[in-house]
Amino acid sequence: MTGRTTRLAVDIGGTFTDLVLETPARSWSRKVLTTPEAPERAVLEGMRAIAAQAGVAPETIGLVVHGTTLATNALIERKGARTALLTTEGFRDSLEIAFEHRFEQYDLYMERPAPLVPRPLRLGVPERIAADGAVLLPLDEAALRATAAGLRALGGEQGIEAVAVCFLHSFTNDAHERRAGAILAEELPEAAISLSCEVAPEIREYERASTTVANAYVLPLMERYLGRLQHGLLAAGVAAPLLLMMSSGGITTVETARKFPVRLVESGPAGGAILARLVAAENGLDRVVAFDMGGTTAKLTLIDDLEFQRSRSFEVARAYRFVQGSGLPVRIPVIELVEIGAGGGSIARLDALGRIQVGPDSAGSVPGPACYGRGGTAPTVTDADAVLGRLDPARFAGGTLSLDPALAEAALADAIGPAMGGSVAGAAGIAEIVDETMASAARVHAVENGKDTAERTMIAFGGAAPLHAARLARKLGMRRVVVPVGAGVGSAHGFLRAPVGYEVVRSRHLALADLDPAALDVLFAGMREEAEAVVRLAAPDAPLVESRTGFMRYRGQGHEIAVALPPGALGADAAAVLHARFEAAYAALFGRVIPHLAVEALTWSLSLAVAQELPTPPPEPPPRAAPPPVARRTLHDPATGRADAAAVHERLSLPPGTRLAGPALVVEDETTTVVPAGATARINALGHIVLEFDA
């Protein structure tokens, strides 16, 4: 998908809406403030402004790729539709009982997040399907119609806009759910209906219901928004197709997005990961950690051989200090990433033992870090960065905001300094702790995926990442960091590199010992058909690539691992092939296989995407010396405790081939890259900054 036509990417975030416009000649970017009450307004305003800036008529835009946090925010803020949930009779509380778990073991006062559907709107329907798909109790259609009539009778503010249906074992036999969907469409023609057998046909009733309910809950809102956006774009002269970014890293049509809006959560980070993969290809890197650090969170993604780690589960709206288990589980295809409550705005404090704690709460943009001078008094990571000399007070965020380091010092001196021996030592402590927190999360994430972080290259983007990347990389045993061009609007850049694609998942519990290859082929053929129908809407003729995955385990285990399956139809030796692939994957993850043990598969997935050609690295430009620095600034290094006079360079004034030695700072509008002592930086042919460390 190289840019022959003019293409627009739009990423709506909590604070800013980022736009990137690519013309055949060059690329333009712009940030406008998000308009939460009508998000399409910022999109349309930004589109007009960026088109004018580029001298392009809206009519000539050939494609719009869009990602948004609207669905995520509706879930976090509980601002979705009034939704009812129909379950198998006897299971209406499954959604609220969840995992029967205290995610904070030692907290006597813990609360679980409220379910999206309150108990009076969770209703049981007489029906029952067994684990093997047999019907134990037929669907009571009369009872269902009576229940629907009861919902219809709720008018006004009580009116139901969406209904989720989740019956037990519907991923094995969906007949009751589909019949219920048809009856509800007759009885409640205005309501949006989401069936669990379509949204998340996977075993484990709570997670399936949670996903289906989340889908129903955001559906009316997203449908209205997408309708308004399409009309607005048309009215503004943009007749181009609109495609939506999904959490899986693929893009899809508005029609699919309207049906499965839950797949749109976390589309921003997916865009960032897509950009990182592109940068990895441009630099010939096969083992990469993408590191995205913004105001409130940091995200880390592993990319091996230009492939992401993929996952089918994700937790949205973590209510409780980002603690795992405090959010809503959704089972959707996602690019696997670990998200930590650590960003520039994260607040630092001392705990009862006098230890520095950073985050996960953030000062946000209001009041913001103390050095913003907007009333914030709690020291944040950005304040620590300011005190360490990493930020140019006059150049922060392209000069739109001037920083006051004295306020940062004062906040640190009050809250952290006395215990640590001064505000610089306190700032160094904050930087060390936040970097260690991210490093710990990265290590645990890597081990869970059977990977290691050492000897990788980090690709750093997002406003705060280039400030912390060098130290974090060293903590993770890495030798190299790449800070790409346009790091500040990385996600929107990524949208334009995402392939049209779709992923279909089905649960079908099979023991390899009695695997019927033909039946599995039939299952995959159905999945391919479903995926292709979606993909062809947006890409009618392009060549497609398909990948198949089985989620397998030793019989008796509770956690499956993803096993890549051979393409195409399975032969008579399918069981042996699958067994060998499972053992190879298991050994890679856990270091050993267990002999004589039966292997089974629970879930199968098929992903279909437009074939993409990734770039190859251009030749390295001849080395050249750096121009004289524009300034020198005192830079404190938390790793060594030393203070050095660091050379300050403007990124735009460094041509390809430039070599720099640390300590140095490379500044640009959206961020600053810290080059610590002992590191060198070079500008490669594409303008990326490449940091390398001495062994």
Partner 1 sequence: MSAAVSDIALQVMWNRLLSVVEEQARTLVRTAFSTSAREAGDISAGVFDLEGRMLAQAVTGTPGHVNSMARSVKHFIEAFPVATMRPGDHYITNDPWKGTGHLYDIVVTSPAFHEGKLVALFSCTTHVVDIGGIGQSPEGRQVFHEGLFIPLLPLAREGRLEEGLMRLIRANVREPVQVEGDIHALMACNDIGARRLSAMLAEHGIADLDALGAHIVARSRAGMAQAIAALPRGTWRNAMRIDGFGAPIDLVAAVTIAEDHILVDYEGSSPSSDRGINCPYCYTDAYTAFGIKALIGPAIPNNAGTLDSIVVRTPANSIVDAPWPAAVNARSTIGHMLPDVVYGALHQALPDRLPAEGTSNLWNLKLGAGHGITAGHTGRPFQVTTFHSGGAGARPRQDGLSATPFPSGVRNVPVEITETIAPVVIWKKEYRPDSGGPGTHRGGLGQMMEVTHRDPAGVFGLFATFERVVYPARGREGGLPGARGRVSLASGQELQGKGFQLVPAGERLVVEMPGGGGYGDPARRDPALVAADVEAGLVSQEQAAALYGAKR
Q: Which two tokens stand for residue 102?
A: 């205290």
Q: Site mask, partner 1, residues 460-479, x = CB under 8 A?
A: ---------------x-x--
Q: Does 135 bind partner 1 (CB under 8 A)?
A: no
Whose Cβ is closer to partner 1: residue 365's or residue 693's? 693
Q: Is 143 exposed, middle or buried (0-12, 13-18, 19+ CB in 10 A)?
A: middle
Does residue number 233 form part of the binding site for partner 1 (CB under 8 A)? Answer: no
Q: Smallest distance, Å, CB 422 to partner 1?
A: 7
* Sole window of 111-119, 330-338, 369-377, 539-547 interacting with partner 1 (rule: CB under 8 A): 111-119
Tokens of 78: 């509980």
Which listed residue (230, 402, 557, 680) binds partner 1 by CB under 8 A? 557
CB of 141 to partner 1, least distance (A): 20
Select from 33, 52, 131, 630 the one that contacts partner 1 (CB under 8 A): 131
Residues 587-606 that bind partner 1 (CB under 8 A): 589-592, 594, 596-597
Among residue numbers 426 through 445, which ones bind partner 1 (CB under 8 A)? 428-429, 432-433, 436-437, 439-440, 443-444
Sole binder of partner 1 in the list 24, 90, 398, 627 (CB under 8 A): 90
**Least Å from the CB of residue 235 to partner 1:** 45
Using the rule CB under 8 A, is 420 a contact of partner 1? yes
447 sits near partner 1 (criterion: CB under 8 A): yes
| 108 contacts partner 1 (rule: CB under 8 A) | yes
- Pick from 130, 149, 580, 588 the residue near partner 1 by CB under 8 A: 130
**Residue list 624-643, contact with partner 1 (CB under 8 A):** 638, 641
> Of these, 356, 469, 504, 520, which contacts partner 1 (CB under 8 A)?
356
Member of 109, 540, 625, 694 binding partner 1 (CB under 8 A)? 109
Cα angle 542, 548, 549 (rounded to 5 degrees) comes to: 145
Which H, E and C letters describe 60-86, residue by residue?
A: HEEEEEEEECHHHHHHHCCCCCCEEEE
Note whether 321 binds partner 1 by CB under 8 A.
no
Alpha helices in 500-641 (DSSP H): 517-538, 574-590
Question: CB of 145: closest distance to partner 1 in angstroms?
Answer: 22
Pick out residues in 484-513 that bind partner 1 (CB under 8 A): 509
The CA distances from residue 524 to 13, 170, 314, 546, 601, in Å, are 36, 18, 24, 11, 14
Q: How far is CA 495 from CA 22, 44, 332, in A?
A: 12, 18, 19
Subset of 155-184 contacting partner 1 (CB under 8 A): 168-169
Q: What is the DSSP string of 289-334?
A: EEEEE-SS-EEEEEEETTEE-EES-EEE---STT-TTSSEEE---E
Say whether 194 sits in a helix, a strand or coil.
Answer: strand
Q: Which two tokens stand for residue 240?
A: 């181009």
List 255, 448, 529, 573, residue binding partner 1 (CB under 8 A): 448
The DSSP code for 137 is: E
Calpha distance 395→404 (Å, rounded): 12
- Which among 54, 65, 66, 63 has a CA at the least distance from the CA of 26? 54
Q: Smallest distance from the beta carbon of 587 to partner 1, in angstroms? A: 11
Pairing of strands 16-22, 544-554: unpaired
- Pairing mode of beta strands 457-461, 658-661: unpaired
**Rule CB under 8 A: is residue 695 a binding residue for partner 1?**
no
Q: How far is the CB of 326 from partner 1 (least distance, A)?
A: 13
Q: How many positions of this chain bind partner 1 (CB under 8 A)?
A: 74
Name the residue nearer to partner 1 (CB basis): 421 or 571: 421
Q: Which is nearer to partner 1, 447 or 631 (CB)?
A: 447
Q: How far is the CB of 556 from partner 1 (least distance, A)?
A: 4
SS3 358: strand
The alpha carbon of residue 43 and the mean position of all alpha carbons in its chain are separated, in whole angstroms, by 21
Show the binding pattern over residues 361-400: x = contacts partner 1 (CB under 8 A), - = does not: ----------------------------------------
Which tokens is 597 given? 């043990």
Q: To 10 degrees, the CA torsion angle through 180, 182, 185, 186?
A: -100
Q: Which is nearer to partner 1, 119 or 659 (CB)?
A: 119
Q: Using the minimum distance from each CB to partner 1, give the nearer residue, 110 or 234.
A: 110
Stretch that binds partner 1, among 248-256, 338-346, 406-414, 556-564 (CB under 8 A): 556-564
Lookup: tokens for 103? 């995610």
For residues 577 and 573, what is the distance between their CA atoms, to the nearest angstrom?
Answer: 6
Site for partner 1 in 185-204 (CB under 8 A): 203-204
Which residue, 209, 216, 274, 201, is CA-closest to 501? 274
CA 53-402-487 angle, 5° bins: 50
Q: How far is the C-alpha of 438 from the C-alpha of 435, rounded, in Å?
A: 5
**Beta carbons of 609 and 499 less than 8 angstroms apart:** yes
Question: Is 353 a residue that touches partner 1 (CB under 8 A)?
Answer: yes
In this complex, which beta carbon is closest to partner 1, that of residue 267 or of residue 437?
437
Instruction: Give the residue with the Cβ less far from partner 1, 209 or 407.
Output: 209
Closer CB to partner 1, 474 or 688, in the complex:
474
Question: Mask of contacts with partner 1, 277-316, x by CB under 8 A?
Answer: ----------------------------------------
Instruction: Decide if 408 contacts 396 (C-beta within 8 A).
Output: no
What is the contact mask toward partner 1 in residues 648 to 687, using x (rule: CB under 8 A)? ----------------------------------------
Give the nearest distance from C-beta 375 to partner 1 in angstroms: 28
Q: Which of 4, 26, 37, 100 binds partner 1 (CB under 8 A)?
A: 100
Interacting residue with partner 1 among 28, 91, 314, 524 (CB under 8 A): 91
Query: CA 17, CA 33: separation in Å to the nearest integer?
Result: 6
Query: Is 565 within 8 Å of 574 (Cβ atoms)?
Result: no
